[in-house]
Structure 1
């Protein structure tokens, strides 16, 4: 039996590397538009959640990435040697665009498979700030079986 979390990450990084790269570029463009705050290490930041999810969603839709998420999710489920009862669509509950990045979810026989692309970080010390997260595909893709 394969480790589902490892199998999912390997699948996404091997079969959808270009999509992950485009995802990172979209996150870069969104973060470049933030000018209301800078962190001590000169990283752009924002305290306004409206400057994260909506602009990021627009960028992803503009380049067509959101439409690919159901295919990525289906392939990831297969790579983990599971199956899905329903065909996923690019909307909740299968696809959610959050303040940290896209989250793909599937209910499988062993529980809930959750794939996250953590392109933004949330810093909660005093005021909540949003900063650009990981920029390396290996770091940005995570998979968890809950």
Structure 2
């Protein structure tokens, strides 16, 4: 069964604490600078450090495993809080899993890239606003 809405509902119900902590870390990163960041690394590196320091980064493999379980599938190996399973980008954490039926991608979109002028801005104040689940 490939139902991103069901996965999303499960993650919001079971992993809201990790999602809320992700938002808190993003807010701390955003409020630490006086100017909006214009470079991906100026967002991704401090966000990774904040997530790691808060213990949130280590929760992402369980979030990913829960999503895969909701689909009734399994991973070929236990996920870890590092690529290819977990990546921290300029817009936030991305959790990925290759499955027999395709690829599961979970984005925690706590930042958005505006183009004119180019800058990263905070988005989403609640888990429902940051969580994006895709099956490709």
How does the TM-score come out when normalised to structure 1? 0.88
* 8 Å Cα contact 1:117/1:141 also seen in 2: yes
Whether 2:94 is the aligned partner of 1:103: answer: yes
Q: What is the match of residue 48 of structure 1?
A: 39
Unpaired runs of 5+ in structure 2?
A: none
Whether 2:123 is the aligned partner of 1:133: answer: yes
Kindly state the Cα deviation for residue 34 of structure 1 after the two structures are TM-superposed.
Answer: 2.1
Question: How many Å separate the matches in 2 of 1:103 and 1:79?
Answer: 18
* 8 Å Cα contact 1:70/1:89 also seen in 2: yes
Q: What is the match of residue 9 of structure 2?
A: 10
Q: What is the match of residue 40 of structure 1?
A: none
Question: How many Å separate the matches in 1 of 2:97 and 2:126?
Answer: 25
- Superposition CA RMSD, Å: 1.2
Q: Deviations over 1:63-104 (max 9, x none)?
A: 111111111101110012221111111110000000000000
Q: Deviations over 1:88-144 (max 9, x none)?
A: 11110000000000000001121000000000000112x420010111211100100
Question: How many Å separate the matches in 2 of 1:75 and 1:120?
Answer: 24
* 8 Å Cα contact 1:35/1:46 also seen in 2: no
Question: How many Å separate the matches in 2 of 1:51 and 1:132?
Answer: 13
Q: What is the match of residue 39 of structure 1?
A: none
After TM superposition, list the pairs within 5 Å mapping 1:1-146 onto structure 2: 1=1, 3-36=2-35, 45-125=36-116, 127-146=117-136
Question: How many Å separate the matches in 1 of 2:104 and 2:41?
Answer: 28
Unpaired runs of 5+ in structure 1?
A: 37-44
